[in-house]
Amino acid sequence: MNLGAFTLLLALIGGASSQYYDDYDFPLSMYGRSSPNCAPECNCPESFPTAMYCDDLKLKSVPMVPPGIKYLYLRNNQIDHIDEKAFENVTDLQWLILDHNLLENSKVKGKIFSKLKQLKKLHINYNNLTESVAPLPKSLEDLQLTHNKITKLGSFEGLVNLTFIHLQHNQLKDDGISAAFKGLKSLEYLDLSFNQMTKLPSGLPGSLLTLYLDNNKISNIPDEYFKRFKGLQYLRLSHNELADSGIPGNSFNVSSLLELDLSYNKLKNIPTVHENLENYYLEVNELEKFEVRSFCKILGPLSYSKIKHLRLDGNHITQTSLPPDMYECLRVANEITLN
């Protein structure tokens, strides 16, 4: 197949997809025949016999899972409990996807997950959890528990390979997090947006590359808070309660940072950033003036800001209030949005 035809096929598949499809999905029409030892109500495609699809079936419990299955999809059912023995024949399960069910913590107790010694992906988005599930297997790499009612996290201790944690749209407050993330030495991605935190969590691993804390109630940043993240690239703190007084001068002077979102806060001044920053979002604050020194310490042939996109709309800065030497600093900017 040439590349053109392949792209067309992808486009067709894309057009047919429902709301649940993401990177590991393909549409029902491609399932073909199911292999013989599959659970009768589910589909185990002959072309992909290690996967079992049991989505959208109004299931109230986990069906029989035959040996050999590594990828199990149980999305959009009415599963409200998981028996301790549900996965006894598939202890080498790698992906377990349980989004859009009715699971509560009291009905997923015991070593259900920790017995799965090969489990890499566990998704329990859109359920009725009030705490993170535990214990978890040390093999886990990707944990998604978004859109639950989680107020408290257990410890993730010993999960040395845990790389991605999605906890957005829960009800986490500062004391519900405490030191939950301590020691997660592989953690690169943490999404805690749409929760109820008033402080930045302590003890986050220095390995983080992406940290999303937007849509909380954070009003200040501890001194040197971001210094420990040597590779942090994407930071979102939009829709919080940040004002100038809560931000120590060097807070965002982080050389690895590529994207910083501080939109929808209460800032009057533009916080100083490192010259390496490429995308800076400051819309809908109370900014009154534009100071070049927020972006460039000094101006020179080799010293300028790498900013490409800068959003300043929804503030009190106008075109005429921009200083003339601005473009000597913002030399590579290709989009600056004002009101």
Ligand X SMILES: *[C@@H]1O[C@H](CO)[C@@H](O)[C@H](O)[C@H]1NC(C)=O
Site of interaction with ligand X (CB under 6 A): 64-65, 85-86, 88-89, 102, 128, 138-139, 160-161, 250, 253, 255, 272, 297
Beta strand spans in 21-66 (E): 51-53
Nearer to ligand X, 199 or 297 (CB): 297
**Angle 96-100-106 from CA coordinates, rounded to 5°:** 75
Minimum CB distance to ligand X, residue 254 (Å): 8
C-alpha to C-alpha distance for 85 and 107, rounded to whole angstroms: 13
- Give the shortest CB-333-to-ligand X separation in angstroms: 19
Phi, then psi, of 7 in degrees rounded to 5: -60, -40
**Least spacing, CB of residue 118 vs ligand X, in Å:** 8
- Give the nearer residue to ligand X in terms of CB position, either 258 or 338: 258
We find the least distance from the C-beta atom of residue 275 to ligand X, in angstroms, to be: 9
Cα–Cα dist 289/287, whole Å: 6
Q: How far is the CB of 170 from ligand X (least distance, A)?
A: 12
Report the C-alpha gap between 306 and 274 in whole angstroms. 9
Give 90 or 218: the residue with its C-beta nearer to ligand X. Answer: 90
Alpha-carbon distance of 19 to 253, in angstroms, equals: 39
- Which residue carries 């009715």 as its tokens? 102
Burial class (CB in 10 A: 0-12, 13-18, 19+), 332: exposed
Which residue lies nearer to ligand X by CB, 8 or 160? 160
Question: Is 27 or 135 the residue whose CB approaches ligand X more closely?
Answer: 135
Encoded tokens for 127: 């359920």
